[in-house]
Each structure stands twice: as structure tokens, then as C-alpha cells.
Amino acid sequence: MSQHTYDQSYWPPFPIIEIVVANPFSDQATAPLPAKVDTGADMTVIPRRLAAELGLTPFSRVLVQGFRGQPEVTRTYPADVNVNGYTVEFVELILNETENELLLGREVLNELVLVLNGPASIVEVVRNRSERSNARGS
């Protein structure tokens, strides 16, 4: 289990956890980076500059629509996303052209057991899907 504090520079404060993004076809990976826990995002979003640094290459296309935005087709980029020592492999990320923030979407969040403790401003990564499966089988 790991604990991460909410980012108090937002109002209301935002749950943040550290992730490592890696190129699945090379040994390039980021240092741990803060990512917003975004249960409303279908997919994980990273800045374009980060994808370029990792050498990520386009994989497919998806239709996306942001809050109050127009639907648009965008490319996806495969990457491995590591949270608390657990790697979700070959996640199809989309790129943010203007922001420098990482949004951790449901395709990764659904692999984890998280506790959002708003009053304490702490998000806990309790366990991952494989630990949950092992506990269920015991």
C-alpha cells in the first residue's frame, strides 16, 4: 500500500498519485511523475513532449471528446504505466497538446484498488488487480 497526498494547489484539492510511464519497446522510462486521478477520463493522457522524450509511436486512432468539447479523432500511443510497483502493460495513451499534466484514466484505475480519503487529502493505492485476484482465490 502507498499513500499520496492531494494537490492543494487546486480547489477543491485534486487526488494525485505518482506513476512511471515507459516505452514498451525500449528501456526508456520516466522518473515517477504526479498524475491526477481522473475517474471521468476513459483514457490516460500525457503531454506530447513526454511521448516524444520516450520515443512513443502512434498505434491506432480513437474518437475522443473532452468536457464541452467537440468529438475528434486522435491517435493513441502504447506505453506501460507503473503504479506502486504494478505495471499495466500496453496502455493506449492519448496526448495533450497544450497542458503539461498527466491524467490517469479508468483503463489504468480499473486495475487498482484505491481509497480516496477526501477529509484527510490522501489517496491510498491499496492493491492491484493481481493482488485482488489472489485474495479472492484464498
Report the alpha-carbon distance of residue 22 to residue 8 in Å, rounded: 27
Give the whole-angstrom CA distance, residue 55 versus residue 66: 25
DSSP state letters, the chain:
-EEEE-BTTSSS-B-EEEEEEE-TTSS-BPPPEEEEE-TT-SS-EEEHHHHHHHT-----EEEE--TTPPPEEEE-EEEEEEETTEEEEEEEEEEESS----EE-HHHHTTEEEEEETTTTEEEEEEEHHHHHHHHH-
Is the CB of residue 122 less than 8 Å from the CB of residue 1? no
Q: What is the pLDDT of residue 79?
A: 98
CATH number at residue 19: 2.40.70.10
Q: Which domain holds residue 126?
A: 2-137
Amino acid at 70: Q
* pLDDT value for 130: 64
70 Cβ contact partners less than 8 Å away, ≥ 6 residues apart: none
Total number of domains constituting the chain: 1
What is residue 72's predicted lDDT score, i.e. its pLDDT? 87
pLDDT of residue 137: 47
Q: According to the model, what pLDDT value does residue 135 have? A: 47
Which parts of the chain register pLDDT below 70? 128-138
Quote the pLDDT of residue 105: 96
